[in-house]
Structure 1
């Protein structure tokens, strides 16, 4: 399968913070400990090894074995779970929400990146074992973000009737109402062996499991079990017990807020966009019915919008120690929780995720927990051989594909037109001519400077207007070429966005079948810092 690439900066889809991180600019060094280059992993291994006890490993293994009790797993996954009990085993982790039928395509890219990094590390450090982990965001309660997926330009939405949706953790939600989505999906996906596999996968995941956690575990396991992927639901009492000391620090001393505030100020002063603003207490109180913020006022603790629920300081700590599973970290504390319960070396995420991780180094330092390496997940554009040939025929480079559509069309129209519709030189000449008039007004009567400026602006606007009219006329003349350019880009960038953020994997699996995931495994190198263009034949 042919592949090409462009730099992340050339895509115009990544923030300055992430681009500067990838470039390892000095201004960003203070926000992380080690950059994820292969030579830096030895020190990360030693640091994590010294901080992660055998007792923690046993708690983790028992929790995973319990969660996989009724799941048919591969020998590779079973061996990986078992090996996590050994002191020479470490994880590479990625996380994702419980999006319906995996949600956007980049779900696959995250997990493929984690799997491939463990392979690279094993080759470099054969004396250690490395396990890819998918952290299911079972405690997230933003139902509107996960209750749909897009297929062939159509939105398939789960209309969930229970009032708990959006109020409690999505992992608790039953799979009720998904028969309707399945019926619509089955009609859209078509026929054939690969379509039949997708229908069966959806049916077994969502219609034969009672809640979204079990459904998502089944789905991810079926797609990636051959690669030894380990899937973790951290909403587990025994795992939450490991987090009690850190949750206690949060409740009593608000360590996360205190130790991220300075970093946020520095990011703002450097012109970077802050991804997440921490609250004074970054814990939720979680039950089957709701997940709400914990608030402290005058030494007492409350649940947001539930003033009837109140604890004194002593009662709050007692509740934490007796029911740690009810204390749910938010986006600020979840990374710390992850690193407390996993022998993790590296977190793999998208640009937005890495942006909030980069806010947390000082918080990790205050809690004496090793800060992991942060790796930007692979990104890719999948095209057919036919689409590649169209692009070449239209003389569009891979870099140009990522332009805004009006910019791309204007550039191509100018290039293929038999007349020059770029008035840049005329504008430069006009500016030079008016400079002479400014000099003349300066020497004779300065009150004329305003009139000269007004006339210059008027004439430059006139040239702009004329250029746009000519370009518009030429577009009409070349409407067939314009339509082909627009159709190609629309097919590759649905809704004017990156394909990986819009399309669902099923669209591509229905086309390429079992070859899809192995091809991604083969061609996506997590340490290759470029945006991939993959051409499927």
Structure 2
């Protein structure tokens, strides 16, 4: 397997500058990840100045219970035990629990966590544990209830679960029925080609489904199977055992919601002053917390009149004391939003670095002032490794049509049309062009002549000429279509190249699920990524399978 690293411009200007021109955005972050001294400085701050933190012993016990429940490998449980050691640091990153792990980028985030922890541990000479934060508290079911795959005819197809209740609740609390699992697994089975690995994968997935009440359960068990032996520690952000550890932090977030929101808005102003757009919609009243009420997850807003909180429409209200009481007695009723999750992450874990995708880097840029407000520091922000898998058949077809990777990424349609023109032995485009030119040259003087007799005849002549040209072009299109049918097989190959590398016009990792590749090639290629010398340097990696 060969890996080629290329520059692939990020869709987020702020992230692009963070990776390529850090000096432009250094006011928004704490550490430059490319500066080797950042690792020692961050570790030193955690050792000497980290004050606001959860109890390590209780944290390790909660994680041990969860990782045992999901079938965690001995290596993962050993990594959990290391968290009890004050010298141990963490590399943390996470994602929502997508169906069958969702987009492939989720898998690459786990690869980045593991590789970065290995690199950091070697640099610092101390234990560094990779932790995957499963965003089980998230309530956007439509964002996680599906996966995409490429069909045999190179179409992008979708497997989807229907919402089990319709209630806007955390994904970890939405029960998926055995019938729903079976329907999704049947669709997945039909989508996967017969290979030496298929029976094992389908058997494992059916066994996981039998043990899984929710998408979070399934996701955690599948990730444990893929990465547990590499020491990846998994956590569910909606785990009641972790919630009980977060009480003190929820107290701070409730008591200081006003100053914290002011700090976030200050961060937004700083981002915009540097010429970037804010990645998070904000209001002055944002409390940056959710509450679970009647099974529904509700975003809180400050109510200036009562010094309490309401929902967006002011239909439900909660006093400050009520929320503080819940923080003590029922912390599972509270959860973080996108702005306070980074703070809670650093409260729970000694975070040396956090692995983020392009969009996440852009919104984390808003949080530095909020970290400082609580006497904390933003950790090292590490760009998630990006990958595109190039299968052998795709490579072969690219070579057949003399297509470079840049051609495929930037001008595949143009190259396809160019190839078709080269196959046109009849030179139809030029010949039809000549006919239209000659016809106009002969017909235009005649129209002008009769217009001199009667202006109405001139207009009729112009209309007649246009219709004749349209008929010639109609015949040209029909002739071109006839030529194209001679090359249907080649055009399907062009289509497959495009659908493989840029499905729906997006990077492969942001669309397809990884199971099709695991089914075709096993896990060897994934193990090779984990054993490679790759570093999270912001470059995009092309993997030639």
Which TM-score applies when normalising by structure 1? 0.82
Structure number with larger C-alpha Rg: 2
Alignment-derived partner of residue 149 in structure 1: 147
Alignment-derived partner of residue 320 in structure 2:
313
Deviations 1:269-308 (A, max 9, x none): 4332321134420100025711001233212534527967
Aligned counterpart in structure 1 of residue 394 of structure 2, from 363, 387, 404? 387
* Structure 1 residue 215 displacement after superposition: 2.2
1:1-80 matches, within 5 Å, as: 1-9=1-9, 13-37=10-34, 38-52=36-50, 56-80=55-79
Deviation at 1:65, TM superposition (A): 1.9
Tell me: CA distance 1:411–1:284, structure 2 relative to 1, closer, same or farther (3 Å).
farther
User: How far off its partner does 1:338 sit?
Assistant: 0.5
**TM superposition shift of 1:532:** 0.9
State the Cα distance separating 1:388 from its structure 2 match: 1.7
The alignment partner of 1:86 has SS state of coil
Alpha-carbon distance in structure 2 between the residues aligned to 1:178 and 1:321 = 37
CA 1:417–1:376 in structure 2 vs 1: closer, same or farther (change >3 Å)?
farther
How many residues of Structure 1 are paired with residues of Structure 2 in the alignment? 481
Of 499, 505, 520, 1:496 maps to 505
Partner of 2:345: 338
1:43-73 residue CA offsets vs partner (Å, 9 max, x unmatched) = 1111112244796211210211222343433
Higher mean alpha-carbon deviation, 211-220 vs 265-274, is at: 265-274
Mapped partners of 2:187, 2:76: distance in 1: 33
Q: Residues 296 and 274 of structure 1: is their aligned pair in 2 closer, same or farther, counting only changes over 3 Å?
A: closer
Residue 135 (1) aligns with residue 138 (2):
no
**8 Å Cα contact 2:160/2:184 also seen in 1:** yes
Q: Aligned residue for 1:327?
A: 334
- Supply the distance in 1 between the matched residues of 2:509 and 2:478 (Cα, whole angstroms): 32
5+ residue gaps, structure 1, are 422-469
CA RMSD of aligned residues (A): 3.0
Aligned mates of 2:312, 2:27 — CA distance in 1: 38
1:509 equivalent in structure 2: 518
Cα distance in 2 between the residues matched to 1:491 and 1:290 = 39
Residues 30 and 83 of structure 1, relative CA distance in 2, 3 Å threshold: same
**Partner of residue 235, structure 2:** 232
Q: Deviations along 1:133-183, whole A, 9 cap, x unmatched?
A: 11000000000000011122321111233233xx01001111212121112
User: Aligned runs of 1:107-506 on 2, under 5 Å?
Assistant: 107-126=106-125, 128-152=126-150, 153-164=156-167, 167-176=168-177, 177-237=180-240, 239-252=242-255, 253-279=257-283, 280-287=286-293, 289-297=295-303, 298-304=305-311, 309-403=316-410, 405-409=412-416, 480=487, 484-506=493-515
How far does residue 205 in structure 1 lie from its aligned partner after superposition?
2.1
Residue 342 of structure 1 deviates from its aligned partner by 0.6
Counterpart contact for 1:413–1:475, Cα < 8 Å: no
- Aligned partner of residue 8 in structure 1, secondary structure: coil
Quote the residue 1:534 is aligned against.
543
Q: 1:409 deviation in Å? A: 4.3
**1:482 positional shift:** 6.2
What SS does structure 2 have at the residue aligned with 1:315? Answer: helix
Partners of 1:3 and 1:535 within 8 A in 2: yes
- Using the size of structure 2 for normalisation, the TM-score is 0.81
Measure the CA separation in 1 of the matches of 2:293 and 2:521.
Answer: 42
Q: Aligned partners of 1:102 and 1:56: how far apart in 2?
A: 30
Deviation by residue 1:348-385 (Cα, 9 ceiling, x = unmatched): 12101111111111110111112111111111111123
C-alpha separation in 2, matches of 1:333 and 1:305 = 18
Q: Is the 8 A contact 1:44 1:372 kept in 2?
A: yes
Which digits, 9 at most, give the CA deviation of each residue in 1:401-420, with x for residues without a partner?
Answer: 2115445546777999999x
Work out whether residues 349 and 375 of structure 1, in 8 Å CA contact, stay in contact via their aligned partners in 2.
yes
CA contact (8 A) 1:282 1:329 kept: yes
Match of 2:522, SS state, is helix
- 1:242 is displaced (CA, Å) by 4.7
Matched position secondary structure for 1:120:
helix
1:93 aligned onto 2:95:
no
- Note if contact 1:242-1:340 (Cα within 8 Å) is conserved in structure 2: no
- Following TM superposition, by how much is the alpha carbon of 1:492 offset from its aligned partner in structure 2, in angstroms? 2.1
